[in-house]
Amino acid sequence: MKFDDAAAAIAAAGRRMDTLGWVPATAGNLSVREGSGRIAITRSGCHKGALSPSGVMRVDAEGASLEPGARPSYETLLHCGIYRRFPDAGAVVHGHSVANTVLSRRAGAEIRLAGYELLKAFPGGPTHETEVAVPVLDNDQDIPRLQRALDALWDRTPEAPPGYLIRGHGVYVWGADMPQAMARLEALEFMLLCHLEEGRTAR
């Protein structure tokens, strides 16, 4: 994918996430793998609802800026970790919804989702008659250390679903391209919101 196309896809996805309330203030980050070791990713401090292609820059596979003086998202290394681990991943999205923030604060090591029609958006089965365990990791401002925790998790669960939660922080989801990543994010956010509502009405 050319950089201009990647930047346009990122900007459109960022605006979509903003309309859904998933990237308040300057929260969230998005990326697309261009190939040849290059990743297009949002710049640090950009509001995703007002994102334009100029709010996107390039980094290498290790997260180093390819644009002198430019600063990518603080969590760039988590995007790089996904691309390194999952060769089919072509886009990564990270958001901060109320549902994923509240549920991750309450959860243990995972949130189990079962019986939802939108589980079809994830690998593993063509029907709702399946179950997905979404991992929840403790928040850590030391991003390399957080990535090491993710690598250890993935080493134990190589068939992990294309998404995870950071406790009290947000969600990461990826796909083969931006449309698939966004479809998976919307499916997961819907199921998390249902899960939150079920917990509220059960009290």
pLDDT score for 202: 59
Binding positions: 94, 96
Could you give the domains of the chain? 3-201 (3.40.225.10)
pTM of the model: 0.93
Select from 201, 190, 21 the least CA-distant residue to 113: 190
Tens digit of pLDDT per residue, the chain (203 long)?
A: 789 999 999 999 999 999 999 999 989 999 999 988 899 999 988 899 998 888 999 999 999 999 888 888 889 999 999 999 999 999 999 999 999 999 999 999 999 998 888 988 887 655 566 788 999 999 999 999 999 999 999 998 877 788 999 999 999 999 999 999 999 999 999 999 999 998 776 55
How confident is the model at residue 40, as a pLDDT? 96
pLDDT of residue 124: 64
Burial 111-141 (b: 16+ CB within 10 A, else e): bebeebebbebbeeeeeeebebebbbbeeee
Residues belonging to the binding site for Zn(2+) are: 94, 96
